[in-house]
A and B are shown apart, each in its own frame.
Chain A
């Protein structure tokens, strides 16, 4: 991911800044620029989501995505956050045999990857079991 593309999403990736629609009150994450429920009537404002959620589904990835080879095998999950939105995230610091659907997690700050060995380092969110 090129530097500007990563950089402009730093608030979203570091601090789970999404959006809340002033019209329907729904919280949206990952960020959106039009409320999909209200469309033109929507009034989106930045909203920082709470860092708590629970596991809806998970997989242990053995054949890693490009750039994630050194982390394999790793846990990938869909998390439903307390504020409502769902996101895809790795679950870190966890024995893969111990994870269950419904487990409570907190979103934490971790190293996601790097542009190259001499490129920028990408940081973002992962989940950790509470």
Chain B
């Protein structure tokens, strides 16, 4: 198995991109990554495209062909990868495996979601298909509702407060202000969050990540060849993926994602790192409670203390373990299929020292954590600066 490095990254602006189509957004992210890697498109051997639901959002399946076609790269093998909101992270993992195996050399891992070509109600309905249609959605569950059930139980078991959840949103909006690609560029306060409309108690509107258009792209190469393309190759030191039951109710814990714990264990082992070795993380904060649960499951604090460490500022830039320096799903936006790739883009930029005002000083090891559904899928990557 070969070591794998990231040689280029590209990201579009995240937000409501009314004047851009699925195809335009994808091409923009791809072009930026190719420029960043300083390669010719014809050098690409394969591509993996993470996308949750083009069928529901733009009534178009078979987007793997569209992406290769519009990139002018046919007949390169192109594969769509789907795992709900973890589609991007899974595409990255498939690309890593393809390079590591020796089958391909230069491989694109992309992610895209065009969500605003349907009305909000249709978009939330499409997202809800990541939950169990038969036994969750049929009885009236919504996606925020499932996370609200986790939040309520977390509050009950550990005394986590609505204020602490709000602080996740405040921090991530703050970080997003230093990211020109982020959907939100405004600071918010705890009071803003607490007074925002109730979506599904205790989750309020500002506890939720938004509906976003966007695409992201990373280009991988075998580590031994990476220096030909970049001065600072970023090694994919560890990759881990795990599944769990589709329904939240079938899990033994409502306050922990077993898929996260298992995927993290695998990724840490492969990379030979412990939580203490990680300098910054991008976690899947689709709702504020999700970030609190994630930092616990990733091992950055004890179970139940995610709210407390957030309140103490340990997850802010400059804190013990900066979380979601990009703004996260909450501040940067959450084009579901693109999110897992966009997380890797942020970590690469941070490890290269290119993150500008949100730079974490001296960052050498970073982690991405991408979740599908309410936790039925999780994928974790450990990235390391290797110069």
Contact = CB atoms under 8 A, between A and B. Distances in A.
A61 B250 contact: no
A68 B153 contact: no
B142 interface: yes
A71 B141 CA distance: 12
Contacts of A113: 138
Contact of A63 (B200, B248, B254): B200
Contacts of B328: none
Nearest to A59: B148
Given A57-B156, A62-B200, A68 B140 contact: yes
B254 A64 contact: no
Contacts of A89: 139
Contacts of B151: 59
A98 B200 CA distance: 16
A101 interface: yes
Q: Is the interface of A mostly helix, strand, loop or mixed?
A: strand
B135 A30 contact: yes
A88 B134 CA distance: 11
Interface string A45-87: 0000000000011111111111010010010111100000011
B198 interface: yes
Interface in A106-130: 112-113, 122, 124-126
Interface string B41-54: 00000000000000
Contacts of B150: 57
A56 B153 contact: yes
Contact of B197 (A58, A59, A62): A62
Contacts of A64: 140, 142
Interface in B150-181: 150-153, 156
Contacts of A74: 140
B141 A65 contact: yes
A122 B134 CA distance: 12
Given A59-B200, A64-B142, A88 B248 contact: yes
A88 B135 contact: yes
A86 B250 contact: yes
A116 to B, nearest CB: 15
B149 A59 contact: yes
Contacts of A88: 135-136, 139, 141, 149, 247-249
A112 B198 contact: no
Contacts of B153: 56-57, 78, 101
What's the interface size class on A, roughly? 20 to 34
Nearest to A63: B199
Interface in B45-99: none
A86 B50 CA distance: 32
A87 B135 contact: yes
Contact of B141 (A76, A86, A126): A76
A93 interface: no
A63 B197 CA distance: 10
Interface string B230-272: 0000000000000000011110001000000000000000000
Contact of B121 (A66, A76, A125): A66
B140 A30 contact: no
Nearest to B126: A66
B190 interface: no
A124 B139 contact: yes
A61 B145 contact: yes
B142 A57 contact: no
B149 A62 contact: no
A41 interface: no
Contacts of A122: 138
Interface string B176-214: 000000000000000000000111111100000000000
B337 interface: no
A71 to B, nearest CB: 7
B250 A57 contact: no
B371 interface: no
Nearest to A87: B249
B137 interface: yes
A59 B139 contact: no
Interface of A: 1, 9, 30, 56-66, 68, 71, 74, 76-79, 86-90, 96, 101, 112-113, 122, 124-126
Interface of B: 121, 124-125, 128, 132-142, 144-145, 148-153, 156, 197-203, 247-250, 254
5 contacts: A9-B134, A59-B202, A87-B135, A96-B201, A126-B139
Given A56-B153, A76-B148, 9 more contacts: A30-B247, A61-B145, A66-B121, A76-B140, A76-B142, A76-B149, A78-B254, A89-B139, A122-B138
